[in-house]
Amino acid sequence: MSNLPIVHLQNLTKTYTEGKHSRIILDNVNATFNAGEFILLLGQSGSGKSTLLNLISGIDSPDSGEAIVNDVAINRLSERQRTLFRREHIGFIFQFFNLIPTLTVFENITLAIQLNGGITPARENEVRTILERVGLSHRQDAFPDRLSGGEQQRVAILRAIAHNPTILLADEPTGNLDEETGQTIMQLLLELTRQVNKTLIMATHNPEIVPLADKVYRIKQGQLVLTEQDSMVAEK
């Protein structure tokens, strides 16, 4: 693991308007995440976990403050620039997989590579090798609706890492899976990210994942608080 800073959150604030009222989701948040770290974000539903991931990825913009990724203030970019930045530097794994139903497994995984300029025979071989490694080589021509939930999530993970992003953002990646499949997915995700020194930032409400993380943060009342793993395990 490197100590090279990858993500800086500087005075990050985000407010949502609900009817006539405003609700502060993130209030002047500051944090630094380093290369190769597994960062876990805990908090109740609606606490701001997904919002924070969206701000780091540039899907959403803060009211004030900055999200700096790879030395780039992503919130200062235009919408098109943010899209191109995500395409190159960020992989996103969703709870509900978000695979494109009209594309095969192989096409879903290689989509970001194609958008970044095309896939070479060498990259095709890399994808087929990793499909074999995770037990999906026989499913590469299948469409998502023919896959189990665990298989779909494996495809979603491979899609997120295939274009070799610096950062992986995961929003409840095991929340839609049974316990055994969820554990298998977590092992796969950590194995694939650790071996290539990726920064993994995961939002979850599952305390079972706490011992696996390098740093655990809790979002509460708009604040991002670094938390001791031992105390979080005790809360289960």
Query: Is residue 6 one of the residues assigned to a domain?
Result: no
Is 23 inside a domain boundary?
no
Per-residue pLDDT band for 234 (boundaries 50, 70, 90) equals: very low
CA distance 80 to 54: 16
CA 9 to chain CA centroid, Å, is 16
136 three-state secondary structure:
coil
pTM score: 0.88
End-to-end CA distance of the chain: 28
Q: Is 163 inside a domain boundary?
A: yes
**95: three-class secondary structure by DSSP:** coil
pLDDT > 70? residue 1: no
Q: Is the separation of the CB atoms in 143 and 101 below 8 Å?
A: yes
Residue 15 lies in a domain: no
Give the tens place of pLDDT for each residue, 185-216: 888 888 888 877 889 999 998 888 999 999 99
- The answer to whether 5 and 69 have CB atoms below 8 angstroms apart is no
* 74 alpha carbon, distance to own chain's centre: 16
pLDDT of residue 229: 55
Assess if residue 216 is contained within a domain. Answer: yes
Q: pLDDT band for position 236 (50/70/90)?
A: very low
Q: Can you tell me which residue has the tokens 């978000």?
A: 98
- Residue 112 has what pLDDT? 82
Q: What is the pLDDT of residue 2?
A: 58
Q: Is 2 domain-assigned?
A: no
For residue 19, being part of any structural domain is answered with: no
How many domains does the structure of the chain reveal? 1
In the prediction, which pLDDT does 175 show? Answer: 83
* Mean per-residue pLDDT, 138-157: 92
The neighbouring-strand residues paired with 42 are: 218
pLDDT at 123 over 50: yes
- The mean pLDDT value of the chain amounts to 88
pLDDT at position 66 is 95
* Residue-range definition of the domain harbouring residue 137: 36-58+77-234
Q: Are 209 and 202 in contact (CB under 8 A)?
A: yes
Q: What is the pLDDT of residue 181?
A: 82
Q: Which residues of 23-43 are buried (b: 16+ CB within 10 A; e: fewer)?
A: eebbbebebebbbbbbbbbbb
Residue type, 201: I
**pLDDT digits over 49-104, tens only?**
999 999 999 999 999 999 999 999 999 999 999 999 998 899 998 888 889 999 99
